[in-house]
Amino acid sequence: MVVWPAVAAAVATPTINNRLTKARTANGLQIINQKGAARKVARALQENISVGILIDQNVSPRHGGIFIDFFRLPAPTSRLPASLARKLNVDVLIGACIRQPDGRFRLEVKHLPKPVSDYVDDLSLTQDIMDANQALIHQYPEQYTWLYRRWRYIPGNASPVLAAAFPYYSISRPYPCDEQLLATLTARAGS
């Protein structure tokens, strides 16, 4: 059996977390806890081991996240995949396991629009990673479920028009968002 490391956050409910971990590790997946994952992921990549990272997790800017356009709202997202890919010059693939009618799964993979070496910063690379992830969600919406509050934080510099577009559970935080991204999303929210 091939062991493949993947970064995932623990679920707060112990019973659910244990069942989820058991299901994730049943076929060789090795879970790297999201907290403190950077060093372990970097070490694996330096050893030419592929690592899976669930990119649609809510990683606050306080913990190194950056706001990215995700379904027309800024969503705090981990910069770890982009940062390590640019530092180590490794490829990034975006994938999803798609349930088939017979109950089996098929891995669908999306490529970035350009090589990692062509990205000048983590923001643009993370945005392209999220765009590819969003394309998979649009293609297979019935396959996707959030078990958490993805748009938990409203950037502190968001306009009132954009802030009003966030889900009811969102809270404003003094975390800044890229001004160009905010202008684009505010214009969309106002139309």
Residue 63 clears pLDDT 90, i.e. is over it: no
Q: What is the DSSP string of 172-190?
A: E-S----HHHHHHHHHHHH
Helix axes 37-46, 80-88, angle to 10 degrees: 30
- Residue 57 pLDDT: 80
Residue 23 clears pLDDT 80, i.e. is over it: yes
- Residue 75 pLDDT: 95
- Residue 58 pLDDT: 82
Residue 70 clears pLDDT 70, i.e. is over it: yes
CA distance 170 to 160: 13
- Residue 59 pLDDT: 85
Q: How much is the average pLDDT of 103-125?
A: 94
- CA–centroid distance for 180 within its chain: 21
Average pLDDT across the chain, whole number? 90
Residues 127/78, Cβ–Cβ less than 8 Å: no
pLDDT tier for residue 14 given thresholds of 50, 70 and 90? very high
From residue 30, alpha-carbon distances to 23, 33, 101, 102 in Å are: 11, 10, 27, 26
Phi and psi at 107, nearest 5°, equal -85, 120
Q: Which of 53, 4, 1, 20 minimizes the C-alpha distance to 147?
A: 20
Which tens digits make up the pLDDT trace of 156-168? 999 999 999 999 9
Q: How much is the average pLDDT of 133-139?
A: 95
pTM score, whole prediction: 0.87
| DSSP state letter for 10 | P
- Residue 145 pLDDT: 83
- Residue 1 pLDDT: 59
